[in-house]
Amino acid sequence: MSDNVTRRKRVVIAGAGPAGLTAAYTLLKQAPGLYEPVIFEATDAIGGISQTVRHNGNRIDIGGHRFFSKSDRVTDFWNEVMPMQTSPAADELLLGAAPAHDTAHDPEQTDRVMLKRRRVSRIYYLRRFFDYPVRLSVATLRAMGLGRTFKAGMGYLATKFNRRPETSLENFYINRFGKPLYEMFFEDYTEKVWGVHPSKLGADWGSQRVKGLSITAILKDIVAKQFGPKRDAREVETSLIEEFVYPKLGPGQLWETVAVEVKAMGGRIEMHTEVTAIEADGTTGKIGAVEVCDNATGERRKVECDYFISSMPVADLVTRLQGFDVPSDIRRDAAALPYRDFITVGLLVPKLKIKNETKLATYADRIPDTWIYVQERDVKLGRIQVFNNWSPYMVKDFKDKVWIGLEYFCNEGDALWEMADADFIDMARRELASIGIIDADDVEDAVRIKIKKAYPAYFGTYSQMEAIRGYLDTIPNLYCVGRNGQHRYNNMDHSMLTAMEAAEAIMAGKTDKAAVWSVNTEQEYHESK
């Protein structure tokens, strides 16, 4: 490539997840002809954890992704790539009606549209359902019983007179819900997710995931709904939203569409290609090139760049810096940053044993839940997704089958991670039967999916993340974006915003990264999931 002033500046991007793709799209859309984004994705999947996995005609959403944001920039992006469906069919789908025709497996008929969905999440505890977020409803009080209800009320009142220092996630939750409700609905599930007790987790996780959610917020929401004017969704605490939009074929459909648009505008995406080294330009202190490896052939090559946007895990980023004078404590602490890995088991069954006892109309009167948080202590299972309720087009035989995802949290290399697929699926099937959700013999098809470093964790050397960030910010043309890129448990829209900020900093010639890192530090907004 010519080095004259008219050449496009090359922006190497590590990762084809929401952050990486958003950065490339923003550069190409807002500054056509000026930048050459090149995305290197180590796997065969577009979308990172927001991918849609296909299995025998059915689709799996890894982790579940509600499309809701209080940012106009994000919603405008979604609407531009995949408009909201406004036909009467959208209302039918909101009620869970069966698709009028199957377009999910006919590429020529597949519409790039978002469907409007109803948010229903509940906690499964004591073999009963409780609304989540916890609601002070008659059904909740009946399920808890008089003794537990009284104890919960007194526990919450106690927080008004004895607030705990928020030095841990446990204290964060207790301050907002009281100790009894914390023990019933948060303690065990949180330990399943992170593998450590909430008393050992930093309160930062709570401040980012459930910022405005508390008993007080729930009471205010109830009063506002009953007696106040109809509010814009952006005025509602995010964990209390009741509707969201969702791509017809799952979140991966949107990111696969973005990938097509990026290529059409002149960007490059190379799959099965991993960034294995990030090399310094000795004269400028900037990143001058990266080494990439073709994971299929093992071939390595050097790619020069003007900018580097990283959505790779911070632990990998720092380890792969070459030619930089990285302080030994930064290398050590970054390499030890903790992560939590993730396993999903898809199960196809003819029916669920649990009945729809809500007032919500659903197809064939199935339960309406998108997610079910499993608080039961006698199973390792953390959460259940019912894909029929995310989008009927996720299920090949929506009318006669139920396609569910069972979610487990683990560490790479531990007993759960190393278990053979057949054994793990059998364990999952038996666990689900043991808590009364299915009959074990009803399972007709199953698949297991493993995702590394799905959740950056908030313990161990996470306490040194500010120092690590401080060092990374000294590299002028390095921008860290996304969940793993910032070691921050962002939702998808926040990952997108970090990428937009990074792209705009590049276009403006800014090396100050404060705006990129400041996304999701506001106290009024985030959703628990």
Task: Give me the pLDDT at residue 1, please.
Answer: 46
Task: Give me the pLDDT at residue 85, please.
Answer: 65
Residue 101 has pLDDT above 60, yes or no: no
CA angle 143, 149, 150 (to 5 degrees): 155
Distance CA 123, CA 128 (A): 8
pLDDT band at 523 (very low <50, low <70, confident <90, very high): very low
Query: In this predicted model, what pLDDT tens digit does every residue of 489-509 receive, in sequence order?
Result: 889 999 999 999 999 999 999
Residue 367 has pLDDT above 90, yes or no: yes
Q: What is the mean pLDDT of residues 131-142?
A: 73
Task: Give me the pLDDT at residue 97, please.
Answer: 54
Q: What is the mean pLDDT of residues 456-464?
A: 94
Task: Give me the pLDDT at residue 136, please.
Answer: 64
User: Closest Cα partner for 111 from 132, 83, 137?
Assistant: 83
Task: Give me the pLDDT at residue 110, please.
Answer: 53
Please, what's the b/e burial string for 392-417 (b: 16 or more CB within 10 A of its CB; e: otherwise)? bbbbbebeebbbbbbbbbbeeeeebb
Q: Which element (helix H / strand E) includes 456?
A: strand 445-456
Query: In this predicted model, what pLDDT tens digit does every residue of 324-336 receive, in sequence order?
Result: 999 999 999 999 9
- In 150-237, the DSSP E strands lie at none
Distance CA 44, CA 478 (A): 25
- pTM equals 0.88
pLDDT band at 149 (very low <50, low <70, confident <90, very high): confident
CB 389 within 8 A of CB 120: yes
Residue 233 has pLDDT above 90, yes or no: no
Look over the chain and give the mean of its residue pLDDT values, rounded to a whole number: 87
Task: Give me the pLDDT at residue 142, please.
Answer: 78
Task: Give me the pLDDT at residue 374, please.
Answer: 95
Cα end-to-end span (Å), the chain = 46
Q: What is the mean pLDDT of residues 230-252?
A: 68
Residue 221 has pLDDT above 60, yes or no: no
Query: Cα dihedral sign for 190, 192, 198, 203?
Result: negative
Task: Give me the pLDDT at residue 206, please.
Answer: 66
Residue 2 has pLDDT above 60, yes or no: no
